[in-house]
Homo-oligomer: A and B are copies of this chain.
Amino acid sequence: MNTMINEGLVAEHNAKLQANLDADYAALAGVLQRRGQDIEQLTALAQTFAVAVPTWGAGTGGTRFARFPGVGEPRNIFEKLEDCAVINQLTQATPAVSPHFPWDKVSDTAALREIAQGYGLAFDAVNSNTFQDQLGQAHTYKHGSLTSQSAAVRAQAVEHNIECIELGRALGSKALTVWVGDGANFPGQHNLRGALERYLDSMRDIYGALPADWNIFIEHKLFEPAFYATTIADWGTSFACATTLGPKAKCLVDLGHHAPNTNIEMIVARLAQFGKLGGFHFNDSKYGDDDLDSGSINPFQLFLVFNELADAAEREGSTFNPAYMLDQSHNVTDPIESLMSSAVEVQRAFIQSALVDRAGLRQLQESNDVHASAQALKQAFRTDVSAILAMARLRSGAAIDPVACYRTTGYREARGVARPPKAGASSSGIV
């Protein structure tokens, strides 16, 4: 296995923190034991957790107003893999990366896969891109891609998605995530129903190209880049389309793609109930699709999502296996730091949800003991499981404190030297 960070540095870091961790872990073990819970089971469970990292997340994001580049940003998929390798090395919670085409397209896909494997990284769901025009592209997506009025544009978009499937097969992926920004900025711009009919036609062609063991994930988004009517705007549309397309089609829930005040955990419950929960793009937000770090704004909501996942897992058993990915935009932090701590936040919600005594909760609910039912969740959420997560990392060979360890390595500073920004690279936005 290739490691980007000297293993000795990690060991040194852990050695310094282990005594305190042991003490914190013992303290928490006692608290849990007094509640009848076994910390070791939870730590073992934490070690099983995995969430994919998107390759594009390794770069610095921005808004339409501006992008402020970071130091040593990766300039291609190979450098992105280096950063993803760091993230997984220090957290042991992100063993797969999710590629995006054409951004990550290379001349030798097999070699790319080998390099990733060298870092211990697999490839998760493949992402297509028909929301931008690429240099040399025959037709523009200005007026839509899979929903375009033009058969030629739709064919180009379908063909690109099918190419993504082929690239994904070569990389070992098992799913294609389709997000389209198609929609309208004005009432009347297009026929709302006609656009969805064309979408379904295009998707049927893509669906037909899926290998037998693949899934296609439909990702909805309320708005942006379309500002009046987005064709796949809500879970209802996503669900109706996935149902229309067939069993390989499932719905993907991005936490930031909903109307204000939406109860997202209930959408999770609904999709699980109706057999269409495909996976997640984790992030957090306060206003729109803010793409902030997971759990940074409303950590209780993240916990409640995992509470529904725990409920579904208990009901469905091992066949219940939605895909997890971080999907964040890191505008003012080091992406590696944000992705590491975000992976930990998602893992935290996973472990907190495992603290819920589901049979006991069911009894409280059945007796309409509203107060006690609510407190059962609150107590699980209140429990500080940091020591469990840190111990799981230690035992898996990662860092007790990934960000602190990372900062000792000088990785970012070294990347600043190794990866000078492209000449003329603009940081200006699009207003």
- Using a CB–CB distance below 8 Å, which chain A residues touch chain B? 20, 23-24, 27-28, 30-31, 34, 56, 61-68, 131-133, 140-143, 149, 181, 185-194, 196-197, 222-225, 227-229, 233-237, 239-240, 243, 258-263, 265-267, 269-270, 272-274, 285-288, 290-293, 295-301, 304, 307-308, 311-312, 315, 329, 331-334, 337-338, 341, 361-362, 365-366, 368, 370-378, 381-384, 386, 403, 427-431
Contacts and interface: CB of A to CB of B under 8 A. Distances in A.
A22 B236 CA distance: 48
A237 B365 CA distance: 22
A400 to B, nearest CB: 13
Contacts of A260: 259-261
Contacts of A431: 56, 61, 329
Nearest to A194: B365
B66 A292 contact: no
B63 A225 contact: yes
A376 B34 CA distance: 29
Contacts of A403: 371-372, 375
B23 A189 contact: no
A227 to B, nearest CB: 4
A427 B132 contact: yes
A373 B186 contact: yes
Contacts of A381: 299
Given A133-B428, A229-B263, A333-B370, 14 more contacts: A24-B34, A27-B27, A63-B430, A65-B225, A66-B141, A68-B140, A188-B377, A193-B270, A194-B365, A223-B287, A223-B290, A228-B286, A287-B288, A293-B374
A338 B373 CA distance: 13
29 contacts: A24-B30, A27-B30, A66-B181, A132-B428, A143-B332, A143-B368, A143-B370, A149-B368, A185-B333, A186-B333, A186-B370, A187-B300, A187-B377, A188-B307, A188-B365, A188-B376, A192-B308, A193-B270, A194-B365, A222-B261, A223-B286, A229-B266, A236-B237, A259-B262, A263-B286, A298-B300, A332-B370, A333-B370, A341-B371
Contact of A261 (B192, B267, B287, B292): B287
Nearest to A348: B382
A185 B266 contact: no
A186 B297 CA distance: 7
Contacts of A20: 34
B133 A311 contact: no
A392 B31 CA distance: 18
A114 to B, nearest CB: 27
A375 B227 CA distance: 17
Given A341-B371, A341-B375, A270 B189 contact: no
Contacts of A368: 143, 149
A257 to B, nearest CB: 11
For A61, A334, A373, the residue with the greatest tally of chain B CB atoms inside 10 Å of its CB is A373
A30 B34 contact: no
Contact of A133 (B295, B333, B427): B427
User: Most chain-B Cβ atoms within 10 A of its Cβ — which of A140, A185, A293, A383?
Assistant: A185
A33 B359 CA distance: 36
Contact of A196 (B224, B261, B270, B285): B270
A229 B270 CA distance: 12
B378 A296 contact: yes
Contacts of A193: 269-270, 272-273, 308, 311-312, 315
A105 B20 CA distance: 59
Given A131-B66, A185-B370, A311-B191, A288 B223 contact: yes
